[in-house]
Amino acid sequence: MDPQPCVLLKYGEIALKGRNRGWFESHLLRSVEHAFSGSGDEVRIRWRQGVLAVSCPALSPEELAERARTVIGIRVVQPGLRVNKTPEAAASAAVSLLRERCERLGLQRPSFAIRARRRHKRFPMNSDKLASFVGAQVCADLDLPVNLNHPNVEVEVEVDRHEVFVSADKQRGQGGLPVGSSGHVVVLLSGGYDSPVAAYRAMRRGLRCEFVHFTGAPYTGPSSTYKAYALVRELSRFQPEVSLHTVPVGNAQRALAVSGAGEAQIVAQRRLFVRAAETLAKRLGAEALVTGDSLGQVSSQTLSNMGTIDNACSLPILRPLVGWDKEEIMTEAGRIGTGEISKLPDEDCCTLILPPTVATHTTPEQLSKIEGRVALDELVDKLLAEVQLLRPGQADPVASCAR
Ligand code: ATP
Ligand code: MG
């Protein structure tokens, strides 16, 4: 066969320890298929021990690597070539990859090292001999110096059952655990910076995320829904199949204000959100909620208020960003692509009714009293009758409407 561009995706054995390997790998495979979907039917995914090799004639090596870098659960991404299972084919692939890499990086006579390994042992040379053979060819053709300890460029030669993979580039993957391998959660998604990052961190721990966004309708326009939609669409790069549930809470917010929530208005709204999200989660079979709270970031996010909010919900509330500061969150938002969307203006329901001061200390008893005046259970049922389901990034984005 002719040398074929491919990308190696490595997930490492450590992540598999103590876990059900088949379970882990089936979720990883779904994510890999998702990352390469829409690139024609010629995508080939080959399983090797601890490694996935993906090739697709329609994609350039850069595009292959770019897509591979979105796969959560993959630690290392190595673009390279898939060649015949002979030392000569491996050597000539190493020469062409090194030449290309030197040109691309503008390196003048970089030092190099060849690292060879055989996942499949039936091969005419052992790993050391193969590395020397390939190295000698590189010296002869490119006249580059060998440096085994601190090379400028490292070339990996990996012998497999049917082929040899050669690569001169090692890129960092997303890491983490494959989406879906740890369970299923509902993320409370606002239009800000925090909750999309929290969702991404949840995905990175193997959680499949569905999203709920509360809007101030009928008192606010659709801008916050557009924003939530765009955020979920951006996050859909990391997870196959995403869904966004939107819930209009403007009237419920008013009811809480009229019942005298006062300084506790924001906490009362949060408790309403988690109650509604919990009911939705149970319908969807999700096991926990996720929020973008970070301790002390705003007055509503004190330890006392978090406790009062937790008390309204029987499912665990996960807060992946609890110890992060805003700068760290913004940097991460930029890296995962949600920052540009979060910075757009919108009409956020939380600004609809803002008390002059926000209580930093609340108790469940205090909130239960307020909720008793508005018949909260009925209110939550009413809200959920108005849920709209959207599927960002899919062929039919408006999946259903309960109205
Ligand atoms: P973010 O940047 O995510 O908006 P924030 O700093 O604005 O966070 P808050 O507005 O206090 O923080 O919200 C705390 C958390 O409550 C959010 O991270 C999100 O999980 C949830 N939340 C807030 N508003 C909404 C909303 N309109 N719909 C769904 N969840 C929300
Ligand atoms: Mg917010």
Q: What is the 3-state secondary structure (H, E, C) of 39-76?
A: CCCCCEEEEECCEEEEECCCCCHHHHHHHHCCCCCCCE
Q: What is the CATH number of the domain that holds 347?
A: 3.40.50.620
Kind plus residue range of the DSSP H or E element containing 154: strand 153-159
Domains in the chain, number? 2
Q: Of the given ranges (56-60, 222-226, 288-292), which has the lowest mean pLDDT?
A: 56-60
**298 half-sphere exposure, CB direction, 13 A CA radius:** 10
Q: Which atom of ligand 1 is nearest to the CA of 301?
A: 11
Q: Residues 10, 80: one domain?
A: yes
Domain final residue pick, 142, 172, 202? 172
Residues with CB under 5 A from ligand 2 (ion): 190, 192
Whether 297 and 190 map to the same domain: the answer is yes
Residue 91 inside a domain? The answer is yes
Q: Are residues 138 and 257 in the same domain?
A: no
Cα 240 from Cα 381, distance rounded (Å): 30
Whether 241 and 166 share a structural domain: no
Whose atoms come closest to the Cα of 301: which ligand?
A: 1
59 and 149 belong to one structural domain = yes
Within a domain: 33: yes
The predicted structure's pLDDT at residue 132: 97
E strand or H helix at 245: strand 244-248
Say yes or no: 330 and 365 in one domain: yes
Mean pLDDT computed over 298-305:
92
pLDDT class of 401 with cuts at 50, 70, 90: very low
In the structure, what pLDDT confidence band is assigned to residue 247 with cuts at 50, 70 and 90?
very high
CA of 213 to the centre of ligand 1 (A): 9
Distance CA 239, CA 258 (A): 41
For residue 240, pLDDT beyond 60: yes
Task: Tell me, yes or no, whether 207 and 154 share the same domain.
Answer: no
Domain shared by 256 and 136, yes or no: no
Q: Report the alpha-carbon distance of residue 162 to residue 84 in Å, rounded.
A: 8
pLDDT for residue 18: 65
Q: What is the DSSP letter of 349?
A: G
Taking Cα atoms as reference points, which of 116, 93, 100 lies closest to residue 1?
93
Kindly state whether residue 178 falls inside one of the protein's structural domains. no
Which residues approach ligand 1 with their CB closer than 6 A? 188-190, 192-195, 213-214, 273, 291-293, 297-298, 300-301, 349-350
Question: Side-chain half-sphere of 104: how many Cα atoms within 13 Å?
Answer: 10
Q: How far away, in angstroms, is 403 Cα from ligand 1 center?
A: 25
14: domain CATH number is 3.30.2130.30
Q: Which atom of ligand 1 is nearest to the CA of 266?
A: 11
Is 401 within a domain? no
pLDDT range class, residue 349, cuts 50, 70, 90: confident
pLDDT at res. 35: 95
Residue 191 Cα to ligand 1 middle (Å): 7
Domain for residue 16, yes or no?
Answer: yes
- The residue among 148, 172, 196 that closes a domain is 172
Compute, in angstroms, the gap from residue 397 CA to the centroid of ligand 2. 24
- CA 85 from centroid of its chain's CA atoms: 36
Q: What percent of the chain has pLDDT over 90?
A: 82
Quick one: pLDDT at residue 400?
Answer: 43
Residue 36 lies in a domain: yes
Torsion of CA 358, 364, 370, 371, to 10 degrees: 120
Residue 37 Cα to ligand 2 middle (Å): 33
Q: How far is it, in rounded angstroms, from Cα 314 to Cα 213? A: 20
- Of 132, 153, 172, which residue constitutes the final position of a domain? 172
Whether the CB-CB separation of 44 and 163 falls below 8 Å is answered with no
Pocket test for ligand 1, best of 187, 188, 246, 328 (most atoms within 8 A of CB): 188
Task: Write down the pTM of the prediction.
Answer: 0.94
277 and 204: one domain?
A: yes
- Residues 90, 116 within the same domain: yes
CB 212 within 8 A of CB 369: no
Would residue 395 count as lying in a domain?
no
Residue 107's pLDDT is 86
Give 238 or 104, the one with higher predicted confidence.
238
- The pLDDT of residue 16 is 65
Q: Whose CA is nearest to atom 17 of ligand 1?
A: 292
pLDDT range class, residue 15, cuts 50, 70, 90: low
Q: Look up the domain containing 383 and give its range.
A: 183-390
Q: Is the domain of 318 the same as that of 385?
A: yes
